[in-house]
Structure 1
Amino acid sequence: MKKIIIPFFLTAILLFSTVKAQSIKGAWRSQQPNNSTAMMIVADNYLMIASYSVLNKYFDRTEGGSFTMDGDQMTYLTEFNTDDTAKINTPVVYTIVRKDKILTLRGEDEELVWMLVDDAENVPMAGTWHITGRAKDGTGDMMEIHQTGTRKTLKILSGTRFQWAAIDPAVKGFYGTGGGTYDIKNGKYTEHIEFFSRDNYRVGTDLTFDWALKDGRWDHAGKSSKGDPIHEVWQKIQ
Structure 2
Amino acid sequence: MKMLSVCFALLLSCLGVLKAEESPVGAWKSVSGDVTSVLLITPTWFTVTNYEEKSFIDSYGGTWKQGRAGESNITIYFNTANPSQAGQNANVPVTIENGRLVTSNPGGGKQEWTRIDDGAGALAGNWRITSRETDGKMNPIPLGARRTLKILTGTRFQWVAINVDSGEFFGSGGGTYTFENGTYTEKIEFFSRDNSRVGAVLSFKGAVNGNDWDHSGLSSKGDPIHEVWSKE
Provide Cα deviations, 1:91-130, integer angstroms capped at 9, x if missing partner.
Answer: 1222022234201345878865311010023x12110110
The answer as to 2:142 corresponding to 1:146 is yes
What residue in structure 1 maps to residue 27 of structure 2?
Answer: 27
Residue pair 1:95, 1:105 contacting (<8 A) in 2 also: no
Identical aligned pairs, as a percentage? 40
In 2: Cα distance, 1:92 partner to 1:112 partner: 20
Residue pair 2:86, 2:166 contacting (<8 A) in 1 also: no
Query: How far is the alpha carbon of 1:43 from its aligned partner?
Result: 0.7
Residue pair 1:94, 1:106 contacting (<8 A) in 2 also: no
Query: How far is the alpha carbon of 1:185 from its aligned partner?
Result: 3.2
Write the mapping of 1:6-155 to structure 2, written as runs, cut at 5 A: 20=20, 22-32=22-32, 34-54=33-53, 57-70=54-67, 71-105=69-103, 113-121=112-120, 123-136=121-134, 139-147=135-143, 149-155=144-150
Query: How far is the alpha carbon of 1:68 from its aligned partner?
Result: 1.5
In 1: Cα distance, 2:20 partner to 2:171 partner: 37
What SS class does the counterpart of residue 83 from structure 1 fall into? Answer: coil
Residue pair 2:215, 2:226 contacting (<8 A) in 1 also: yes
In 2: Cα distance, 1:92 partner to 1:105 partner: 16
The equivalent position to 1:168 in structure 2, one of 157, 163, 172, is: 163
In 1: Cα distance, 2:224 partner to 2:150 partner: 19
What residue in structure 2 maps to residue 224 of structure 1?
Answer: 219
Residue pair 1:93, 1:107 contacting (<8 A) in 2 also: no
Moved more, 90-99 or 103-112: 103-112
Query: Which amino acid counterpart does residue 208 of structure 1 have in structure 2?
Result: S
TM-score (norm 1): 0.83
Residue pair 1:134, 1:232 contacting (<8 A) in 2 also: yes
Residue pair 1:95, 1:106 contacting (<8 A) in 2 also: no
In 1: Cα distance, 2:57 partner to 2:95 partner: 27
Alpha carbons of structure 1 residues 186 and 20: separation in structure 2 relative to 1, 3 Å: closer
Q: How many residues align?
A: 212
Provide Cα deviations, 1:143-196, integer angstroms capped at 9, x if missing partner.
Answer: 22111x311111001111000000013222000000000012343111100000
RMSD: 1.9
In 2: Cα distance, 1:89 partner to 1:112 partner: 26
